Amino acid sequence: MTDRITLTGLRAHGRHGVYDFERERGQDFVVDAVLELDLAPAARSDDVTDTVHYGELADRLVAVLTGEPVNLIETLADRLLGICLADPRVARATVTVHKPEAPVPHAFTDVAVTMTRTRPGPPAGTPGGGLASIAGGPAPARPQPGPQPEPAGNGDAA
């Protein structure tokens, strides 16, 4: 997949962190999101409904950034990835969470965590693709190696 939508430098004030003072004062977090999906349908139709609306995506990401606090930016990145992959057209997403005001006792520019997730299963639009693949469900039975037990019964043909 070579088509991408990139949202860079999305900034919001959140109260994430391990320390009480991070939760009390809060701090700015900056997010970069890269969505990989087929943009050909949108290019042909020139219709926003055939693509991921990046304004609406930004609203949903900010809601997570300003919402329920978490301790780790790894957890925050994982939640943001869930938002990015909620659209079944997105095959893969990469999210970077920057914490430029992290409590590090040395001069630094940024602390960031980057996580990438790929939608499991076939791409959206094919049988078995889409959100059902993310949600999971029972795994298909795998044949077990070695001899299999005989079915219970008395051995007589029915």
Q: What structural domains does the chain harbor?
A: 4-120 (3.30.1130.10)
Please identify every residue annotated as catalytic: 99
Handedness of CA 2, 92, 33, 108 (dihedral sign): negative
Q: What is the mean pLDDT of residues 46-59?
A: 97
What are 139-152's pLDDT values in tens digits? 333 333 444 444 44
Encoded tokens for 24? 């009390």
Q: What is the mean pLDDT of residues 58-81?
A: 98
pTM, full prediction:
0.75
Q: Is the pLDDT of residue 82 over 50?
A: yes
Q: How confident is the model at residue 2 (pLDDT cuts 50, 70, 90)?
A: confident
Q: What is the mean pLDDT of residues 6-28?
A: 97
Query: How confident is the model at residue 25, as a pLDDT?
Result: 96
Query: How confident is the model at residue 120, as a pLDDT?
Result: 77
Beta-bridge partners for 96: 32, 114
Nearest Cα residue to 32 out of 55, 8, 60: 8
Calculate the alpha carbon distances from 127 to 14, 121, 130, 133 in Å: 39, 10, 9, 10
Query: How confident is the model at residue 63, as a pLDDT?
Result: 98
